[in-house]
A and B are shown apart, each in its own frame.
Chain A
Amino acid sequence: MTEMATNAQTVTPSAATDAVTTKMTARDVSVFYGAKQALKSVSIDVSRENVVAFIGPSGCGKSTFLRCLNRMNDTVASARVEGEIKLDGEDIYSAQMDVVQLRARVGMVFQKPNPFPKSIYENVAYGPRIHGLAKTRADMDNIVEGSLRRAGLWEEAKDRLQESGTAMSGGQQQRLCIARAIAVDPEVILMDEPCSALDPIATAKIEELIDDLRGKYAIVIVTHNMQQAARVSQKTAFFHLGTMVEYGDTSTIFTNPTEPRTKDYITGRYG
């Protein structure tokens, strides 16, 4: 439906700021684990055109916020979320929202590759099966091939689709997880430090992949690697001690941050 916007999206990051279609909005989101507040009043917009990077020192709440966006925090008994998060204008924490559907629309890739102990084919087919996306075997084959292609894994995997996904290398596993996430054709993809367990070459592949996926999916990525944030994202949010200190164009954040704390962190003075 937004094919045109996708095609038009070859402009530079800073210029893209105006012509965006907002996919998710978060307003004043606070998260508590029991009595302890982990996130304080964070507001942010996510769009297809701009990859958003979350950076910040360990324990500042990046993962916590990311997990609010597809309600994975529901699985943590002590977690409580306040504020408002909307997907296409729909409140995802409202009673009408079906978590299962939400998570099909907002996919997630984890820090450590976590393929299921099943074949490569079955790993990718997992989501479509659950959501009944394929009517026939041929449909499913198409979905699997398409997802693996988009994840840049098809050439490596096409001859070993029946082998176990856990037998692949770490980088391949992570791309398999990305393929698995895009197989259900989500609108948003959340990535929590997707490269932290990978070597530089595998990392470069994933970064390339993220760039390819931009425009089709709204992407949010948490990273500890400044260069990575600078390379793959158009927008960057800096978190510190549960607050979002600064949010803006990646180029601005990295060259000319407003907040001294951001500057300290980026120049490596702490964190």
Chain B
Amino acid sequence: MSLSVIFLIILGLGAVAFFAGRARGNLFDPAVGAAAGERPHSRPVYHGWYVALAAILPALLLLTAWSFMQPRLLDAGIVASMPAADQPKTQIDRDAIIDEVKGLASGELQDAFNPASKAAVPVYEAARQRLTLGALVAAVMIGLAGAGWAYTRLRPDFRARTRVERIVMGILIAASLIAVLTTFGIVLSLLFESLRFFKTVSPIEFLFGTQWSPQTAIRADQAGSSGAFGAVPLFWGTIFIGAIIAMAVAIPFGLMSAIWLTQYAPAKLRSVLKPLLEILAGVPTVVYGFFAALTVAPALRDFAFAVGIPGASSESALAAGLVMGVMIIPFVSSMADDSMAAVPQAMRDGSLAMGATPSETIKRVLVPAALPGIVGGVLLAVSRAIGETMIVVMAAGLAANMTANPFATVTTVTTQIVTLLTGDQEFDSPKTLSAFALGLVLFVVTLILNIVALRVVKKYREAYE
């Protein structure tokens, strides 16, 4: 019997508790029960739910805690059961033996490398059964106790409905807290690892240094003095690709497509094209990455050679930026579309009634009126572009150059993070830790961009409500 079976048993217990509670609640009906004439506070279902929740929730909490503890107790039990001579000396040996014992017990392993493991299997099995049985008994007892306690509280004037509502609210809050806490934890770990990095490399050097070559810093004594962790070229590459080239593509095309879609396209065409454009936003970025690396980049390189542009590379900033821009077009377009649709029709009519042409109306009234919304959308797009990883990993280079030549190769923050963390790495060298510092910078920048953008958009929405 496993913990999941116990889980089902507890649910069954909850069901029984529900029916018991509801049956009790039914007795409170003034037509039936002893307390005739007095209207009960809550309907019978709520009495049922109250008893059921009182049975299930504490038992589940116990079960959760138990499922964390049980493996640890078992492991300790396995090791303790072995004769002193066979006891593992190192952590690695210990893990190996424990895995072996578990493998033998589950039948995944036929034979053991360590003879001591075989001997430990029956011990392990017995301990497991004992612990699981203990869990079952404890959970059922707690469930019964909870249900019993709740059942005795039921009375016609007992506020079961209010309590159930409150419990439901508590569950919902807990669920939303999980997402928030996880994010918080990620940020904390990012912060923590970054601090470790900044112990070896000064933040000033990291943020303002112009030399980036983490590979040379394998020897720890070299890291601080070599100036190899100046991230400015990375920041520049990120801005060059994500905020300059990509936006130079995405803003005009996104805006124009939004204008055409909202103002000119016949309703039927619009109803087909708009979802189509939104599907484009759902294409996995790795596909765009292929396209950038295999089609656009070589073409641009050949073009640059043909025209005689110096420094052209087959991993050009332009290739990554262009494709990223195309990827962002639907995003910009749909943000601009939304903000233009939010401009009241009356404004448009007012302009048209003055004898303005549609394009004059768009240029002089619609776009200016929608501008805050559009700007907010563009900021969100920038924050997406600088955090975008796949396209730049595939199409941008690794060389940390500070160049404004779009045909040359540059590297970005996300590309570096990926290269720093993939493959076999020690997790405490400055080289690896620098990835966390980069991640932190990226996180802070996109966070600020998002906050600013959302505030701009919100203010704009309020202006028309």
A225 within 8 A of B: no
- If A77-B267, A114-B346, A130-B360 touch, whether A103 touches B352 (CB-CB below 8 Å) is yes
Cα distance A70–B267 in the bound complex, in angstroms: 24
Check A100–B353 contact: CB distance below 8 A. Answer: no
A149 within 8 A of B: no
- Chain B residues whose C-beta falls within 8 Å of the C-beta of A116 in the assembled complex: 347, 350-351, 364-365, 368-369
- If A72-B352, A75-B349, A177-B350 touch, whether A114 touches B357 (CB-CB below 8 Å) is no
Cα distance A262–B364 in the bound complex, in angstroms: 44
Cα distance A75–B352 in the bound complex, in angstroms: 9
CB distance from B159 to the nearest CB of A (A): 48
- Chain B residues whose C-beta falls within 8 Å of the C-beta of A184 in the assembled complex: 354-355
Interface string of B347-391 (1 = CB under 8 A from A): 101111111110010001100110000000000000000000000
Check A103–B355 contact: CB distance below 8 A. Answer: yes
Check A107–B346 contact: CB distance below 8 A. Answer: no
Q: Considering residues B349, B352, B354, B368, which has the most beta carbons from chain A within 10 angstroms of its beta carbon?
A: B354
B344 within 8 A of A: yes
- Chain A residues whose C-beta falls within 8 Å of the C-beta of B360 in the assembled complex: 130
Check B354–A107 contact: CB distance below 8 A. Answer: yes
- If A117-B369, A118-B368, A126-B364 touch, whether A72 touches B349 (CB-CB below 8 Å) is yes
Check A101–B353 contact: CB distance below 8 A. Answer: no
CB distance from A106 to the nearest CB of B (A): 9
Interface string of A84-108 (1 = CB under 8 A from B): 0000000000000001111110011
- Chain B residues whose C-beta falls within 8 Å of the C-beta of A214 in the assembled complex: none
Check B354–A103 contact: CB distance below 8 A. Answer: yes
Cα distance A99–B352 in the bound complex, in angstroms: 10
Cα distance A21–B351 in the bound complex, in angstroms: 29
Check B355–A127 contact: CB distance below 8 A. Answer: yes
A205 within 8 A of B: no
- If A110-B346, A116-B369 touch, whether A126 touches B357 (CB-CB below 8 Å) is no
Cα distance A83–B43 in the bound complex, in angstroms: 66
Check A100–B349 contact: CB distance below 8 A. Answer: no
A131 within 8 A of B: yes
Nearest-neighbor residue (CB-CB) of A166 within chain B: B463
Q: Which of A108, A115, A117, A166 contacts B353 (CB 8 A)?
A: A108
Nearest-neighbor residue (CB-CB) of B354 within chain A: A127
A263 within 8 A of B: no
A181 within 8 A of B: yes
Check A126–B354 contact: CB distance below 8 A. Answer: yes
A235 within 8 A of B: no
Cα distance A153–B382 in the bound complex, in angstroms: 44
- Chain A residues whose C-beta falls within 8 Å of the C-beta of B355 in the assembled complex: 99-104, 127, 130-131, 184
Cα distance A162–B329 in the bound complex, in angstroms: 36
Cα distance A116–B370 in the bound complex, in angstroms: 12
A23 within 8 A of B: no
- Chain A residues whose C-beta falls within 8 Å of the C-beta of B364 in the assembled complex: 116, 126, 130
A180 within 8 A of B: yes
Nearest-neighbor residue (CB-CB) of B371 within chain A: A117
Check A72–B351 contact: CB distance below 8 A. Answer: no
Check B354–A130 contact: CB distance below 8 A. Answer: yes
A112 within 8 A of B: yes
- Chain A residues whose C-beta falls within 8 Å of the C-beta of B349 in the assembled complex: 72, 75, 108, 110, 114
CB distance from A259 to the nearest CB of B (A): 32
Cα distance A207–B293 in the bound complex, in angstroms: 69
Q: Which of B344, B356, B368, B463 contacts A114 (CB 8 A)?
A: B344
Cα distance A184–B267 in the bound complex, in angstroms: 33
Report 9 cross-chain contacts, Cβ distance below 8 Å, ordered by A residue.
A72-B349, A72-B353, A75-B349, A77-B266, A100-B356, A103-B353, A104-B354, A107-B354, A130-B360
Interface residues of B (CB under 8 A from A): 266-267, 344, 346-347, 349-357, 360, 364-365, 368-369, 463
Q: Which 4 A-B pairs have the closest CB atoms?
A: A104-B355, A103-B355, A108-B353, A114-B346
15 further A-B contacts with Cβ under 8 Å, apart from A104-B355, A184-B354, are A75-B349, A77-B266, A77-B267, A100-B355, A107-B353, A108-B349, A114-B349, A116-B350, A117-B347, A117-B463, A118-B368, A126-B351, A126-B354, A127-B355, A166-B463
